[in-house]
Structure 1
Amino acid sequence: MATTTTIPSPSLDVEDVISLTQTLIQIDSSGPESGGPGETSIAQYITKWLQHRDIETHWIEDTPNRPSVIGIVRGSGGGKSLMFNGHIDTVTLQGYDGDPLSGTISNGNIYGRGSADMKSGLAAEMLALARAKTLNLRGDVILAAVADEEADSIGTEQVLQAGWRADAAIVAEPTEMAIIHTHKGYALFEVDIYGVACHGSRPDLGVDAICKAGYFLVELDRLGQELQTRYVPRANEPDTGAPNIHAGVIRGGEEINSYPARCTVSIERRTIAGETADSVRMELLAILEKLEATVAGFKFALRTTAHRSPYLIARDHAFVGLVVEHATKFMGTAPDIRGETYWTDMALLAEAGIPGVIWGPKGYGLHSQTEWVEIESVRSLAASFVAIAADFCK
């Protein structure tokens, strides 16, 4: 275990989900990619909180200062296992309006960075795990408190690489208490458009890579519009909306008085169920090869830089039904079941053979100047998690 950061001072005796949410908010766990300290302090607190309750813990830190924590209440045997997955990192504290680590309660809400995304859901998961010790279950209940979800999701990847598995999972991202059964994936690409460098006064010797890239950008915009129009949602199909594509970053040129030898376009393509990184790469490749054949001097290189799969579990899956049943009981009304446009760690769990849903509290202001979560939804979520564990792992 890392020893460079001391255990935070908050009490280990916190038992109420709202107080625990406040405690977690008050620990800065913003990611180092945004200048934050990383997850060591909050991981140490979670570990001590679990150990204080005699819960078995495991520390996973394949990447320095990016630890994840596993807590497990083992069943007596023969039952199904359930994993609660929650990320312990947050986005930057910079630009937050007021004290981002306050955990202030006002008008039925808890405020602070990570209040919604997703320390309230994590607190509900921690308390559900603790309650599992009293339920005499046959199956295991597992908490995966993971690092780095806001960047590259190495936390959940490393938990899976360490061999942790379950028969089903819940990722407690803030969903406004809707049950998310499908979401988009993404694929990232870079396209180098090549020119020929020369002095700005010698067009006879040079090829302007930035101008050549303009041909590609026009076709990329046309593809983006086509994706929106050719997508027709149908009954009983994923409801994540149309796939989409855009150019996120363009880099080219050295100085104004030279013809640029290269222009690089970074592209994000959001995918839906049935699409793969390879299929969308071929879509881009077809555009680029057509330009190479029709535009004088057009040369390119295409590479995939990252990709994550979309996620889908059938609406009539037994686990979805079980979650709906208990959600309805504690919410007083049946939750919405829908798709989302964003990506979550649930897709990684599914690739490892773990089905599940994304379900979390009513939270707002994610990644913005003010972030908050509705207290009543957090209490309903915590009670539901206990009931789901009791039913699924019995």
Structure 2
Amino acid sequence: MSQRDLDLLMQTLAIDSTWGRERELAEFLADRLREWGADEVGLVESMPGRPSVGARIRGTGGGRSLILNGHLDIYEVSDDWDTDPFAPFVADGRVHGAGIADMKAATTASLAVMRRVLESGTRPRGDLVFQGVSCHFEGGVGTRSLLDAGFTADAAICGEPTDNTIGAVHRGAAYLEITTHGKQAHTAGKHLGLNAIETMEPVLAALRELEGTLPYEPHPELPGGPILNIGTIHGGTKHNQVPDRCTISLDLRLLPSQDPYEVRRQVIAMIEKLSADDPRVKATVEFSPHWLSGPRLPYEIGTDAPIARTVAGAVRTAGGEPAFRGIQFWTDMVPLKQAGIDAVNIGPGTPPYSWANEWVETSKYLEIVEIYAAAAEAWCA
């Protein structure tokens, strides 16, 4: 099976599914699943023009059902690639291709397991469900749409890159937009205006201090405190105009003990203090539309949960030693949990996850195929 599984990965890597352009890959996966004989295959428009693909292998009855979840969308590729990002190749024990770590290797491994079960001639007792989701970067919109369409189960495995370690806990996030409000004027009459870029300066300084003072409870699997990144800044219209608006976007990565809504209130309180000291500082703080499309809440289940124990056993079956490690980023385990579905994450790939000349170790990809297959057999049988 190894070469066929590797060939399937090369096919998915050759399809450009950059964020917003998932349709071609979704249709390719749906065609393959129909060709192999899946009992139910559906393309669901998660957002206009951005389908997700769901598929089901119906069990014979009496077993537990399992979702294999992976996203199709990948980040925009860097101009620093040395080769064509969508011409995958194998070299020095690694498979190279755009989005392979985040997360086409795991998504394709799930697809390979569906093929293996369908071609085996033996059905599990419980259903096996494939979720190839678009719109992951909008906060799990694709996963939610597939669940709404009926592609659901008793438990799930996600495949975000964790170097084939098992994740049962991860950080949440608060994506915030802060806008300072000034008054427009011409440079020649600057004294009649209020420069919103200049009044953003104390906000930026206060945010750097806030990163180290936000309250949280340490978590043994997620070292360190909250992480704050100022990702974008936009302000002004022309060089000779005093800007009346300046907006920054923040990504605050949080611990399970922190609530994104409370963190927003803490940022507002910080700005209110700045305004009290300097009335020129007038600002609003809102969640970004990108966050509101799927709130990035933290996630945690016990490592003794049935699906966690099953995946740990599957790692042993595949010849490895299971290791549970916290995940620093957000995953679709949150929308699954909100639907009442316990999940764990395990997938190939290492930091920085999305980068020029992205790769995954060939052995880790082939290993995850075996882990998913063993987990499906143990859980659904």
1:59-138 matches, within 5 Å, as 59-93=43-77, 95=79, 96-133=81-118, 134-138=121-125
Cα displacement (A) at 1:201: 4.2
Any idea what SS the aligned residue of 1:331 has?
coil
| Structure-2-length-normalised TM-score | 0.89
Change (3 A) 1:43 1:283: same
Q: What is the CA–CA distance in structure 2 between the aligned matches of 1:27 and 1:283, rounded to whole Å?
A: 43
Cα displacement (A) at 1:363: 5.2
Cα displacement (A) at 1:328: 2.1
Q: What is the CA–CA distance in structure 1 between the aligned matches of 2:191 and 2:101, rounded to whole Å?
A: 59
Aligned counterpart in structure 2 of residue 313 of structure 1, from 301, 305, 310: 301
- Contact map agreement 2:159 2:347 (CA 8 A) in 1: yes
Q: Residue deviations 1:10-62, cap 9 Å, x none?
A: xxx99821111111112222234xxxxx1222222211211112112111124
Q: Residue deviations 1:332-362, cap 9 Å, x none?
A: 3x23211121112222212221111110124
Partner of 2:255: 272
1:207-222 matches, within 5 Å, as 207-222=194-209
Q: What is the CA–CA distance in structure 1 between the aligned matches of 2:315 and 2:351, rounded to whole Å?
A: 20
Change (3 A) 1:198 1:331: same
Aligned AA for 2:160? E
Cα displacement (A) at 1:111: 1.6
Cα displacement (A) at 1:150: 4.3
Aligned AA for 2:331? T
Q: What is the CA–CA distance in structure 2 between the aligned matches of 1:100 and 1:308, rounded to whole Å?
A: 29
Aligned counterpart in structure 2 of residue 288 of structure 1, from 264, 271, 294: 271
Any idea what SS the aligned residue of 1:67 has?
strand
Partner of 2:319: 331
Cα displacement (A) at 1:272: 1.9
Aligned AA for 1:329? T
The farther-off stretch of 126-135 and 316-325 is: 126-135
- Contact map agreement 2:206 2:270 (CA 8 A) in 1: yes
Q: What is the CA–CA distance in structure 2 between the aligned matches of 1:28 and 1:320, rounded to whole Å?
A: 33
Cα displacement (A) at 1:232: 6.1
Any idea what SS the aligned residue of 1:179 has?
coil
Q: Residue deviations 1:221-270, cap 9 Å, x none?
A: 1101324xx65635xx5525421223222222233444332222222221
Change (3 A) 1:62 1:372: closer
1:144-155 matches, within 5 Å, as 144-150=131-137, 152-155=139-142
Q: Residue deviations 1:312-339, cap 9 Å, x none?
A: 121222221111112023133x232111
Partner of 2:284: 301
Cα displacement (A) at 1:287: 0.8
Aligned counterpart in structure 2 of residue 322 of structure 1, from 290, 293, 310: 310
- Contact map agreement 1:181 1:339 (CA 8 A) in 2: yes
- Contact map agreement 1:185 1:342 (CA 8 A) in 2: yes
Structure 1 residues not aligned, in runs of 5+: 1-12, 33-37
Any idea what SS the aligned residue of 1:90 has?
coil
Q: Residue deviations 1:257-297, cap 9 Å, x none?
A: 44332222222221221322211111111111222222133
The farther-off stretch of 112-121 and 50-59 is: 112-121
Instruction: Give the fraction of aligned pairs with identical amino acids, expressed as a percent.
Output: 32
Any idea what SS the aligned residue of 1:61 has?
strand
Partner of 2:12: 24
Any idea what SS the aligned residue of 2:15 has?
coil
Q: What is the CA–CA distance in structure 2 between the aligned matches of 1:106 and 1:204, rounded to whole Å?
A: 63
Root-mean-square deviation (CA, aligned residues, Å) is 2.4
Aligned counterpart in structure 2 of residue 171 of structure 1, from 150, 153, 158: 158
The farther-off stretch of 305-314 and 92-101 is: 92-101
Q: Residue deviations 1:56-114, cap 9 Å, x none?
A: 21111243331111111111223211000011222234522212222312222222113
Any idea what SS the aligned residue of 2:60 has?
coil
Change (3 A) 1:98 1:304: same
Partner of 1:345: 332
Cα displacement (A) at 1:125: 0.8
The farther-off stretch of 249-258 and 173-182 is: 249-258
Change (3 A) 1:137 1:329: closer
Q: What is the CA–CA distance in structure 1 between the aligned matches of 2:109 and 2:280, rounded to whole Å?
A: 59
Change (3 A) 1:145 1:204: closer
Structure 2 residues not aligned, in runs of 5+: none
Partner of 1:58: 42
Change (3 A) 1:101 1:202: closer
The answer to whether 1:183 aligns with 2:178 is: no
Q: What is the CA–CA distance in structure 2 between the aligned matches of 1:216 and 1:372, rounded to whole Å?
A: 39
Q: What is the CA–CA distance in structure 2 between the aligned matches of 1:101 and 1:94, rounded to whole Å?
A: 12
Q: What is the CA–CA distance in structure 1 between the aligned matches of 2:352 and 2:173, rounded to whole Å?
A: 23
| Structure-1-length-normalised TM-score | 0.87
Aligned AA for 2:316? T
- Contact map agreement 2:167 2:324 (CA 8 A) in 1: yes
Q: What is the CA–CA distance in structure 1 between the aligned matches of 2:198 and 2:247, rounded to whole Å?
A: 12
Q: What is the CA–CA distance in structure 2 between the aligned matches of 1:105 and 1:281, rounded to whole Å?
A: 45
Q: What is the CA–CA distance in structure 1 between the aligned matches of 2:226 and 2:369, rounded to whole Å?
A: 34
